[in-house]
Structure 1
Amino acid sequence: MSSSQASSQRSGRLLGFVGVGTMGRPMARRLIEAGHALIVYDRDQAAVAELEALGARAAASVREVADNAHTVFTSLPTPAIFKQVALGDAGLVDGGAIKILVDLSTVGSRIEKEVADGLLAKGIETVDAPVSGGAAGATKGTLAIMAAGNPAALEAVRGLFDVLGKVFVVGDRPGQGQLLKLLNNMLSSTAFAITSEAFVAGLRGGLDPDVMMSVINAGSGKNGATLDKFPKHVLPRTFDFGFPVGSVCKDIGLAVDECQALGVPMWVGSVARQVWNYAAMQDGSARDMTELVKYVERWSSVDGLAD
């Protein structure tokens, strides 16, 4: 147990958590299981009830969380929702207890900076801390946390990060963690898209998929898709990685926009974004991202493989 955790437990200080969905729920659960007292809010009452059964206190509103917790975590799906939760009417900004916001969402650096400025005007520090590793990493506590913010605020929550995974301090300003997270996700989703095309091409050419992946992973073509997602979720045809196509579209869209704003042309990234957006338009927005392979199979007229 870290000194930060022990201090939190001795003081009985509540931690807040807003947004306990696919990623937020297992992270909140880990904090509870590590001995921390949590007050949680989400529109999904079933998700809240699951944590309440583990000992969390259910809040009726975002404001109730901010009125009771010194440190509040957010894990929210879109930039608009994050901004509303943080700065909207009866949002975190109006809370009577909150002093540090730890944002675990992927919302882009521009919104993160806007929210951080709005909160700082009320004396609330923002720790920009998006995570990578998916729902499995959140459950196991093996997430990569890309943290940026005021060094004193970062130090105050560092022990809490140890419960969730490994923290990398990437900067001293909110927004820098968001940029790195978007670059990471763009690399991951682009690698998956091109691996899907290569995989289907190999099948069309008569190659054995297991042999193909073994050879690629022994050579220079290996990447996160060939090392992890294909062996675990595509080749067994389970398609259960736990991250929807719609979220990929959001993240790669934010990434391309931010990179272009920095003056980078983004030819490859723009094409990858088009591939994912097209898949989402084919009724795929809610589907697991690994199901992109099914669309490539269908577009390539690979018989008997697409469900």
Structure 2
Amino acid sequence: MSAVTPVSPASTVVGFVGLGHMGGPMAANLVKAGYRVRGYDLSAASLAAAVAAGVEPAASAAEAAEGADVVITMLPAGRHVLALYRDEGLLAAAQPGTLFVDCSTIDVADARAAHDAAARAGHRALDAPVSGGVTGAEAATLTFMAGGGETEFVRAEPLLSAMGRKAVHCGAAGSGQAAKICNNMILGISMIAVGEAFVLGESLGLSHQALYDVASTASGQCWALTVNCPVPGPVPASPANHDYRPGFAAPLMAKDLGLAANALRAGGVHAELGLRAAELYAEFAEGAGAAEDFSGIIRTIRDRSAQDTETSSDPSAQDTEENGTATA
């Protein structure tokens, strides 16, 4: 395969499919960088918002890909990416040699299948999931984790730089997705740990600010604490100060941890914390956290702690638990 030169705004048309909470701001940042962007989304409202930001509207995903030099997709799941590539004409509509960059977070196997489908259709491909959430998408401070060939990465890097502040070439096809699920497994586990630490501090009479001031400059320092602090006060921009509005929504964390759990099981990796974090976030996302930032899980930790305290201090409840019957 011949060398691929980086794209430039003056000579590049970008097709963008998936203009939701993440894709919309990403496409808008490409427009700001001088790229001509033609976009499509099933949601009329999302498409209208992108058009207001300078994206040219397409009537279909296939139309967005026609004549494009690069096609970027940002979709909910692997099945959507594969259906679009294989069944809905996206690959067939593109001119030969088009670079397809999938920024969705999907299963590693699905990412590799997407690469294979693109190659069979005569195209190039990268999987390039992102970290940074909606705030990062809006501010163009995302981190991209890319999997695929070196030449494809070189070609895509200027686009990724227009939408984020860091892009890492992680390896061959699927490596970007592998890095993403490993990263978010760390994040999910650490947010639970930070939440439990704050609830423990509350029970011991420690103020949120005091714990933050210590841990943020000591060995407990981590992103979940210093950027997305799960309690109001210490980090004014964190979702906790805005009634846990996402941010990074809990259902998205549950999805990513579910992908990590699948990979753990498939790889035979003994990872108790990763699997347990996946269970906790799945439950949280299906209930109280359905519309919350993932840091809101601290409220579940706090509520369950209160329930456990009530149970341990109630002799009748203890007797019920021990004997399986309620006392008179």
Structure-1 separation of matches of 2:219 and 2:156: 39
Alignment partner of 1:280 is 2:285: yes
Alignment partner of 1:269 is 2:268: no
Structure-1 separation of matches of 2:247 and 2:86: 29
Secondary structure of the residue aligned to 2:244 is: coil
Secondary structure of the residue aligned to 1:20 is: coil
Mapping of residues 1-307 of structure 1, within 5 Å = 4=6, 7-9=8-10, 11=11, 13-90=12-89, 92-97=90-95, 99-165=98-164, 166-171=166-171, 173-230=172-229, 231=235, 232-233=237-238, 236=241, 238-301=243-306
Structure-2 separation of matches of 1:219 and 1:96: 52
Structure-2 separation of matches of 1:121 and 1:39: 24
RMSD (CA atoms): 1.8
Instruction: Give the letter aligned to residue 108 of structure 2.
Output: S
CA contact (8 A) 1:229 1:241 kept: no
Secondary structure of the residue aligned to 1:73 is: strand
Structure 1 residue 234: deviation in Å?
A: 5.5
Structure-1 separation of matches of 2:255 and 2:53: 32
Instruction: Give the letter aligned to residue 96 of structure 1.
Output: A
Instruction: Give the letter aligned to residue 289 of structure 1.
Output: F
Secondary structure of the residue aligned to 1:101 is: strand
Greater relative contact order structure (CA < 8 Å, 6+ sep)? 1
1:246-285 CA-to-partner distances (Å, cap 9, x unmatched) read 1111100101211332221221111111111121232422
TM-score w.r.t. length of structure 1: 0.90
CA contact (8 A) 2:100 2:123 kept: yes
Secondary structure of the residue aligned to 1:169 is: strand
Instruction: Give the letter aligned to residue 65 of structure 2.
Output: A
Structure-2 separation of matches of 1:182 and 1:211: 32
Instruction: Give the letter aligned to residue 189 of structure 1.
Output: G
CA contact (8 A) 1:14 1:70 kept: yes
Structure 1 residue 52: deviation in Å?
A: 1.1
Instruction: Give the letter aligned to residue 236 of structure 1.
Output: N
1:201-221 CA-to-partner distances (Å, cap 9, x unmatched) read 211222101111111112212
1:4-35 CA-to-partner distances (Å, cap 9, x unmatched) read 56x441x3x42011111111111111000111
Structure-1 separation of matches of 2:213 and 2:85: 47
Structure-2 separation of matches of 1:185 and 1:136: 16
Structure-1 separation of matches of 2:183 and 2:274: 12
Q: What is the number of equivalent residue pairs in this alignment?
A: 295
Structure-2 separation of matches of 1:53 and 1:246: 28
Structure-1 separation of matches of 2:225 and 2:249: 19
Cα distance change of structure 1 residues 285 and 241 upon mapping to structure 2, 3 Å threshold: closer
Contiguous gaps of at least 5 residues in structure 2:
230-234, 308-328
CA contact (8 A) 2:240 2:295 kept: no
TM-score w.r.t. length of structure 2: 0.85
Structure-2 separation of matches of 1:266 and 1:283: 26
* Percent of aligned pairs with the same amino acid: 31
Which one has a bigger Cα radius of gyration?
2
CA contact (8 A) 1:260 1:266 kept: no
